[in-house]
Amino acid sequence: MDELEKMRLLIDKLNDLAYKYYVLDAPVVSDKEYDALYDELVALEKSTGVTLDNSPTRRVGGEPLKEFASHTHLRRLYSLDKCNSYDELRAWFAKLQNALGYAPACTLEYKLDGLTICLTYRGGKLVTGATRGNGETGEKVTEQVMTVRSVPLTIPYDGEIEVQGEGIMRISALNKYNETAAVPLKNPRNAVAGAIRNLDVRETAKRNLDIIFYNVNYMDGDCKLTQTRQIEFLKNNRFKTGMLFKSDDIEKIIAEIDKVDRASLDFAIDGMVIKVDDCAARAVLGYTDKFPKWAIAFKFEAEETTTELLDVVWQVGKTGKLTPLAILEPVELCGATVKRATLNNYGDIQRKDVTIGSRVFIRRSNDVIPEILGVAQQAEDAREIAKPEICPGCGSEVYEEGAHLFCPNFYGCRPQVIARLVYFCAKECMDIEGVSQKTAEQLYDKLGVREASELYGLTADDLGKIDGFKQKKTENFLAAVQSSKSADLPHFLNALGIDNVGRKTAKDLAEYFGSVDALAAADAETLVKVPDIGEIVAQSITEYFARHSEVVARFKEIGINPVCEKRSGGVFDGLKFVLTGTLPTLSRDEARAKIEAAGGAVMSSVSKLTDIVLAGESAGYKLEKARALGKKIIDETEFLNMLNT
């Protein structure tokens, strides 16, 4: 076999493997095997000096481009009409039904929130990738598009064709990128637009983009396929697609839209698209000068908007941590008026280059207080956000630990002490009813309470000085204080208010160590052996006991020193596992249950904290990483043997 033929075979094999991995999401070989074949191809290309058109080595990007050339679409691209309510959607459908004389079957798809990408193929080869531009002419971004691994460089169909899809950056890919990025990406849409419209193609390649296709815009003339057929055609030609549902009953379509849970998707959508399936019906309905009358976008409420950042105030929490709170020009978002947003810490402010007076992007996810994603526009007279040197609650000089600033005034910083008192008494902590923010303020101001253990020395006379503490309430409170002495270890550990230790972690710690003394004596190395505890949490715990051992001692004097049964000493006690690949007999859930029952824990990714990797068939990247880190790797047989010993 000559070298060229060898190259062709290798390329076919590699492209097929990439299709299974990136499009079907069903890898059949490990990354290592893929890499070996890839390296073989690179060597052949070097020795022959030939790189074939569909070679995957073309995907990595070369020298930066000088400028974007323009591309005229084979057929103009239309945009979509939109509606914001089910009633508008019903009205749209009724109009179609009127015009056609029957209820047309419609397809339902996600409205992906990314960047339109059009690909032209000729003779089965990808010839151009382009942005939408003004619909007639866009920018050529062929090399950028080629970095997207799920895009086929060659397809079986060999006529002239233009397919349209949405370039997206998955939320998981974005989060991963932001973990180490000097300047974090603000949102998936900006992330993909910035990556595709980047002249340095190697940068594009780093973003791990994806394109999901939904339209055959041109197929040796106007495309005459129904929407369902278009998706089928795209699938058969190895494009990534996604259609959800088809019905001629608008109520069924609405019910389907209602089921969509945006938060559960790994990509951003800003609505749903409803399209008449049939071509003859489409022809009857026609187009306006902007959009087809046979399709409509049902827009979801925006989760993101911009507004002016008016000020930043620093709040002191129960651990003494200072958190910046952004004060915003009030703005409507998801049906609520947003006036405040979080910024995580000073480093976060710097990374996002947030300044007072600038317009910022804010996003609301679920019900939590909105987050500032980045700056939309810097104001000319923008003011830098100063890094506080003193605590806003008490004026003490703050100190830095990791990414955060802390107030050291444990007993004298009013907001800090009050927050700690309220937290200590909460239901999921010591469950002492009646200590609201207001009561805690009076405990601090009128009775001089500076620390939770002092609650146990309060008398009815003392409490008489606090507003609202009549006889009954006082009795109840004193009784609640007394009975809290028998709180169990998980509740007590939670009540201490250690930074980064919440209810779940407190329970894990209690079951692992069995007593406060054992926990206090543990070093970071021991702590990270506890399931779900990483280095940051471990550090918070050791810091707490190093600084505040006297707190625990005082509780002991009062008689609060709960212990609990340690979780059984299983064979995997304290070991952290990662599962990868398909095991011959056990499902993932079964393997996980066995590990946990034996005292081990399962982590999602391989890191230095991993102890054992349980690998099955077609294990991929995780296995490679485990090897690179020199981790213990076992198969199912070995795993079962270990369990039985």
Interface pick for ligand IVH out of 7, 10, 11, 112 (rule CB under 6 A): 112
112 vs 219 by CB, closer to ligand IVH: 112
* CA–CA dist 85, 89 (Å, integer): 6
* CA–CA dist 535, 537 (Å, integer): 6
The nearest distance, CB 284 to ligand IVH, in angstroms, is: 16
The two tokens of residue 321 are: 């941590």
* Amino acid letter for position 196: I
CA distance to 132, 149, 276, per residue, from 233 (Å)? 22, 19, 17
* CA–CA dist 178, 193 (Å, integer): 16
Residue written as token pair 């079957």: 105
Interface pick for ligand IVH out of 79, 172, 437, 482 (rule CB under 6 A): 79
The nearest distance, CB 142 to ligand IVH, in angstroms, is: 18
**Contacts of 169 by beta carbon, 8 Å cutoff, 6+ apart:** 114, 177, 185, 188, 191, 192, 195, 207, 208, 209, 210, 267
118 vs 606 by CB, closer to ligand IVH: 118
Residues 253-282 interacting with ligand IVH (rule: CB under 6 A)? 273
153 vs 297 by CB, closer to ligand IVH: 297
The nearest distance, CB 135 to ligand IVH, in angstroms, is: 8
Residues 489-528 interacting with ligand IVH (rule: CB under 6 A)? none
By CB under 6 A, residue 211 contacts ligand IVH = no
By CB under 6 A, residue 111 contacts ligand IVH = yes
* CA–CA dist 322, 416 (Å, integer): 10
* CA–CA dist 46, 511 (Å, integer): 59
Interface pick for ligand IVH out of 30, 54, 107, 116 (rule CB under 6 A): 116
Active-site residue 111, yes or no?
A: yes
216 vs 533 by CB, closer to ligand IVH: 216
Q: Which of 189, 195, 220, 215 minimizes the C-alpha distance to 207? A: 195
Contact predicate 11/42, CB 8 Å: no
Sign of the dihedral through C-alpha 472, 473, 476, 479 = negative
Mapped to the 3 state alphabet, what secondary structure does 248-308 carry?
CCHHHHHHHHHHCCHHHCCCCEEEEEEEECCHHHHHHHCECCCCECCEEEEECCCCEEEEE
Residues 567-626 interacting with ligand IVH (rule: CB under 6 A)? none
292 vs 388 by CB, closer to ligand IVH: 292
Binding segment for ligand IVH (CB under 6 A), chosen from 291-299, 397-405, 424-432, 535-543, is 291-299
| Residue in 13, 32, 46, 111 annotated catalytic | 111
164 vs 204 by CB, closer to ligand IVH: 164
* CA–CA dist 73, 318 (Å, integer): 59
* CA–CA dist 374, 343 (Å, integer): 10
The nearest distance, CB 640 to ligand IVH, in angstroms, is: 47
103 vs 285 by CB, closer to ligand IVH: 285
Comparing every residue's Cβ against ligand IVH, the nearest one is 116
By CB under 6 A, residue 80 contacts ligand IVH = yes
Contact predicate 325/314, CB 8 Å: yes
Binding segment for ligand IVH (CB under 6 A), chosen from 74-82, 226-234, 595-603, 634-642, is 74-82
Contact predicate 458/435, CB 8 Å: no
CA distance to 87, 92, 105, 213, 293, per residue, from 298 (Å)? 11, 11, 17, 19, 14
The nearest distance, CB 257 to ligand IVH, in angstroms, is: 13
Residue written as token pair 């804010």: 362
3-class SS of residue 642: helix
109 vs 143 by CB, closer to ligand IVH: 109
Burial tier of 142 (Cβ tally within 10 Å: 0-12, 13-18, 19+) = middle
By CB under 6 A, residue 21 contacts ligand IVH = no
The nearest distance, CB 427 to ligand IVH, in angstroms, is: 45
CA distance to 512, 530, 574, 608, per residue, from 509 (Å)? 5, 7, 11, 21
By CB under 6 A, residue 297 contacts ligand IVH = yes
Binding segment for ligand IVH (CB under 6 A), chosen from 77-85, 276-284, 566-574, 580-588, is 77-85
Binding segment for ligand IVH (CB under 6 A), chosen from 15-23, 292-300, 381-389, 493-501, is 292-300
Residue written as token pair 């009646």: 434
Q: Would you give the binding string for ligand IVH spanning residues 34-73, x where CB under 6 A is met?
A: ----------------------------------------
By CB under 6 A, residue 295 contacts ligand IVH = yes
Q: How many residues lie near ligand IVH (CB under 6 A)?
A: 16
By CB under 6 A, residue 133 contacts ligand IVH = no
The nearest distance, CB 578 to ligand IVH, in angstroms, is: 35
Residues 318-357 interacting with ligand IVH (rule: CB under 6 A)? none
Interface pick for ligand IVH out of 144, 150, 215, 540 (rule CB under 6 A): 215
Residues 148-167 interacting with ligand IVH (rule: CB under 6 A)? 166
Length of the chain measured in residues: 645
3-class SS of residue 117: strand
The nearest distance, CB 253 to ligand IVH, in angstroms, is: 14
The nearest distance, CB 580 to ligand IVH, in angstroms, is: 33
By CB under 6 A, residue 213 contacts ligand IVH = no
Interface pick for ligand IVH out of 109, 143, 162, 277 (rule CB under 6 A): 109
Which residues carry out catalysis? Answer: 111
> For binding to ligand IVH (CB under 6 A), which residues are involved?
78-80, 109-112, 116, 132, 166, 214-215, 273, 292, 295, 297
